[in-house]
A and B are shown apart, each in its own frame.
Chain A
Amino acid sequence: MAQTRSHPGHAAASLRRRLLSWILLPLAGLIGINAWVGYGNAVQAANEAYDRSLYLAARTLAEELEWRDGRVQLDVMKAAGYLFENHTGSRLFYKVTTPGGQWLAGVAALPDVPVRTQSAVKYFALVQFDDGVYQNLPVRLAQLTHVMEDTALGDPLIKITVAETMEARQQLIQHILWDTLGSQGLLLLAAALLVVWGVQRGIRPLEAFRQQLAQKADDDFSPIQLPDLPRELRPLIETLNSYLDRLGRLIDIRKRFLDNAAHQLRTPLTALKTQLALAQRNAEPQQAQALMAAARQTTDDAVRLTEQLLAMTRVEHAREMHSPHTVNLVALARQVTQEHLMRAHQCGDDLGLEVQVAQCEVQGVDLLLHEALSNLIDNAIHHGPKGTHITVRVGEGWLEVEDDGPGIAPQHQAHVFERFYRAAPSGVSGSGLGLAIVKEIASQHGALLEVRSPVKAGRGTALRITWALA
């Protein structure tokens, strides 16, 4: 797992964390709500049970009341059993009053239960429950309306109030609380473990995939293969594999380009070294002069080749570097032709410009178009014999360079735009890059590069870049 840290491991961890939080947080919420509802229900049930027993205590008490000696008497000994044995942990107090609130027996200070029209308790209309305070302690009150016969009171109805301190209830509620918390907590823990385990297992193919990718050698572009690939990952890996395939092919092309370039660059340098060594060795000035002239020619070739190799790489990356704008083809043709006039003249060629339109503007990158036209003219000068007539022509949406050289044989025409493809006889130096550069530039401009040969009388080549007219 050491690689995990060195690699963008946090991304993988974050997926796990995200999954866990997506599952565990809502789960924890649900369990929390469930615990809260369950706890509420339990507390309510407990309260009802306690209330019922409080009601029973009041009822029993009522039955033990007697009218003796002109007042209400309680058989305390009998009542004590109900009052104190049933309610371990809580203390009970009682009070007997007339419906009007006149004290008859018990603890006079007990609070009364306010009369509500709707009873809070379901099971007995004659009993009312309430929370109150007695001796600074919270108490639960039950007030029972009871009929007492054989009394000297005008009204046989009496009210019996029983108060119970809350210790037992609180204890029970606390118990329920801890119980709920404990069980739900365990549930949550178990769920969390299951989820973590599940997510871990679910992510395992992803981790295996990552490891396979991390272990790949730098030059290994073979597709990634995983035996038990989940369906969801398949498109991802297929996409990656096709990307790897393209990348591999691209790098392969690069490698071949470099090999070719190395070969191409070494050739003139080798020739140059030989020529110079010979010139040094040759005492005869005439021969030495001839060798120097040859060396100069070789150097020119090497320069041309270097420029083309650099242009090729530059053109390949041009797309990211330049944005197209309006280019005046007439001005461009004039400028590039001007730049090649001297060389054409020195080579004994006739280079001319023919503008067939007053103005021609296209969308493009002038640097690249300059390069393209420059290569076309250079190609014509380089490959034509001395005295070749070369014409740069601009028309409506096209740019053309025509020469009256020997032309390109039909079997070569399909390949002349391929890199390092050389149609010229082996005696003529050349890189096979010039037209490939033009082709690349034309396709970057969405323009068409066509070759026409022979042009007339079995001679000549015309290369034309045509823009699709909008």
Chain B
Amino acid sequence: MNTLKPRILLVEDTPDIALWLGTALRQGGMAVDFATDGLQADRCLQAGHGFDAVLLDLQLPGQDGLSVLQALRARGDAVPVLILTARASVPDRVLGLNMGADDYLPKPFDLSELEARLQVLLRRHGRVKTTALRWGPLEMQPENGAVQLHGQVLALTKREAAALRVLLESPQRTVSKEQLHAEVFADEATGLDAVEVLIYRLRKKLEAGALQLGQPCEVMITTFRGMGYMLTSPSGQA
């Protein structure tokens, strides 16, 4: 077994979903184990299980997904858990999160969204330390902030890199101007305009970087009115 691959436990009782989801995750470079009911999931998740994340369906035969989660957290196990369920009412969502789930995705979900959320979970929990922050052809080494575009080093200032890191760490979610200001300028006495200037420069560098390599610009920082900034791709795909 390749130890670099994150190990995922997929707890899902519908064979079709388990099969295809497992296939997709494996193609995405993960090692996937299956549990088809609550009891089996509980057995798989005993001490020393070695999983990096758990995808947990709530409606399971044998033992309910929530009780599996409860038992897991009662053992003091902090492995990230992403709940997948067709029970989409919000009280269930709140209940799941209160019981120690890290995220929640109602069925039916987009595969890309599941992958993105799973990546966020793995990164946030330090399960994949070596993985670079990635957006299309853009890569950032989390430990030193070195940025590469299409494999070529992109020279950024410290502040530009800090802003880009915030955006990379928040895929598919907008980052507000205030938030960027707080993260990048900390307690400096600059106004919010400084953020706009910074983002403008970052955009220019990304465009210029792509142009230099003769590539179309595939990393964009899009402004969303009233919401903030988010990394997007021109194809519309996040």
The chain A residues found within 8 Å of chain B, CB to CB, are: 303, 307, 310, 314, 334, 337-338, 341-342, 345-348, 350-355, 367, 370, 391-392
CA distance A247 to B48 in the complex (A): 59
Across the interface, do A337 and B227 meet the contact criterion of CB distance under 8 Å?
Answer: yes
Given contacts A341-B174, A367-B90, A367-B91, contact A354 B226 (CB under 8 A): yes
Q: Which of B34-42, B135-143, B201-209, B230-238 lines the interface with chain A? A: B230-238
Nearest Cβ distance between residue A348 and chain B, in whole angstroms? Answer: 7
CA distance A314 to B87 in the complex (A): 12
Asked if B173 is at the interface (CB within 8 A of a chain A CB), the reply is: yes
Assess whether B89 is interfacial by the CB under 8 Å rule: yes
Chain B contacts of A314 at CB under 8 A? 89
Cross-chain contact of B236 among A310, A338, A346 (Cβ < 8 A)? A346
Contacts of A351 in B (CB 8 A): 224-225
Task: Tell me if B214 counts as interface (CB < 8 A to partner A).
Answer: no
Complex alpha-carbon distance, A350 and B230, angstroms: 13
A-B contact count (CB 8 A): 47
Q: Does A341 lie within 8 Å of B226, measured CB to CB?
A: no
A351 to B174: give the CA distance in the assembly, Å: 12
Chain B residues engaging chain A, CB cutoff 8 angstroms? 88-91, 108, 172-174, 222, 224-227, 230, 232, 236-238
Is A338 touching B174 in the complex (CB atoms < 8 A)? yes
Residues from chain B with Cβ under 8 Å of A303 in the complex: 108
Task: Specify the chain B residue showing the minimal Cβ separation from A322.
Answer: B91
The reply to whether A370 and B90 contact each other, CB–CB distance below 8 Å, is: yes
A334 x B227 contact (CB < 8 A): yes
Return A52 CB to nearest CB of chain B, in Å: 95
Q: Least Cβ distance of B74 to chain A in Å?
A: 29
Question: Bound complex: CA of A338 vs CA of B227, how far in Å?
Answer: 7
B236 touches A352 (CB 8 A): no
Chain A minimum-CB-distance residue to B238: A342
Q: How far is the CB of A338 from chain B (nearest CB, A)?
A: 6
CB distance B90 to A391 under 8 Å? no
Question: Is A345 touching B236 in the complex (CB atoms < 8 A)?
Answer: yes
The residues of B that contact A354 with a CB separation of less than 8 Å are: 225-226
- B88–A353 touching, CB < 8 Å: no
Query: Is the Cβ of A352 less than 8 Å from the Cβ of B224?
Result: yes
The smallest beta-carbon distance between A386 and chain B, in angstroms, is 10
Residues of chain B within 8 A of A307, CB atoms compared = 88
CB proximity of A265 to chain B, nearest CB, Å: 14
A129 to B: closest C-beta gap in Å: 92
Contact A341 B224 (CB under 8 A): yes
State A345–B236 Cα separation when bound (angstroms). Answer: 6
- How long is the Cα–Cα vector from A424 to B57 in the complex, in angstroms? 37
Main secondary structure of the interface of A (DSSP, over half): helix
* Cα(A355)–Cα(B224), bound, Å: 13
Please name all residues of chain A whose beta carbon is closer than 8 Å to the beta carbon of B222 when the two chains form the complex.
345
* Residues of chain B contacted by A347 (CB below 8 angstroms): 236
Closest to A394 in B: B226
Q: Which of chain A's residues has its CB closest to B237's CB?
A: A346
A348 to B108, CA, bound (A): 23
Can you name the residue of chain B whose Cβ is closest to the Cβ of A302?
B108
Contacts of A392 on B, CB cut-off 8 Å?
A: 226
Picked from B91, B227, B237, the residue with its CB within 8 Å of the CB of A352 is B227
Which residues from chain B contact A370 at a C-beta distance below 8 Å?
90
Q: Are B90 and A348 in contact (CB under 8 A)?
A: no
Chain A residues, Cβ within 8 Å of B227? 334, 337-338, 341, 352-353
Chain A neighbourhood of B89, CB < 8 A = 314, 367
Shortest Cβ gap from B118 to chain A (Å): 16
* Partner of A355 from B90, B172, B226, B232 at Cβ < 8 Å: B226
Which residues of the partner chain B approach A348 to less than 8 Å between Cβ atoms?
236
Q: Report the Cα distance A351→B232, complex, angstroms.
A: 14
Given contacts A338-B174, A348-B236, contact A391 B88 (CB under 8 A): no
Tell me, rounded to whole Å, the shortest Cβ–Cβ distance linking B12 to chain A: 18
Q: Is the CB of B225 within 8 A of A353?
A: yes
Of all chain B residues, the one with the shortest Cβ separation from A366 is: B90
Among B90, B108, B172, B226, point to the contact of A342 (Cβ < 8 A): B172
A345 contacts which chain B residues (CB < 8 A)?
222, 224, 230, 232, 236, 238
Q: How far is the CB of A410 from chain B (nearest CB, A)?
A: 29
The distance from the CB of A59 to the nearest CB of chain B, in whole angstroms, is 104
**Cβ-defined contact, A353 with B90, below 8 A:** no
Distance, CA A307 to CA B109, complexed state (A)? 12
For B90, what are the chain A residues with a Cβ–Cβ distance below 8 Å?
367, 370
Per the bound structure, the CA–CA distance linking A392 and B227 in Å amounts to 11
Docked-complex contact A338 and B237, CB < 8 angstroms: no
Q: How far is the CA of A370 from the CA of B89 in the complex (A)?
A: 12
B91 cross-chain contacts in A, Cβ below 8 A:
367
Instruction: Report the Cα distance A400→B226, complex, angstroms.
Output: 14
CB-based contact A353/B226 at 8 Å: yes
Find out whether the CB atom of B225 lies under 8 angstroms from the CB atom of A391. yes
Residue of B nearest to A350 (CB): B225
State the CA gap A222–B225 with chains docked (Å).
57
Besides the known contacts A352-B224, A367-B90, 20 further A-B residue pairs in the complex with CB atoms under 8 A apart: A310-B88, A314-B89, A337-B226, A337-B227, A338-B174, A341-B174, A341-B224, A345-B222, A345-B224, A345-B230, A346-B236, A346-B237, A351-B224, A352-B227, A353-B225, A353-B227, A354-B225, A354-B226, A355-B226, A391-B225
Distance (whole angstroms) from the CB of B151 to the closest CB of chain A: 27
Q: Which residue of B lies closest to A393 (CB)?
A: B226
Residue of A nearest to B223 (CB): A352
Residues of B near A338 (CB, < 8 A) are: 173-174, 227
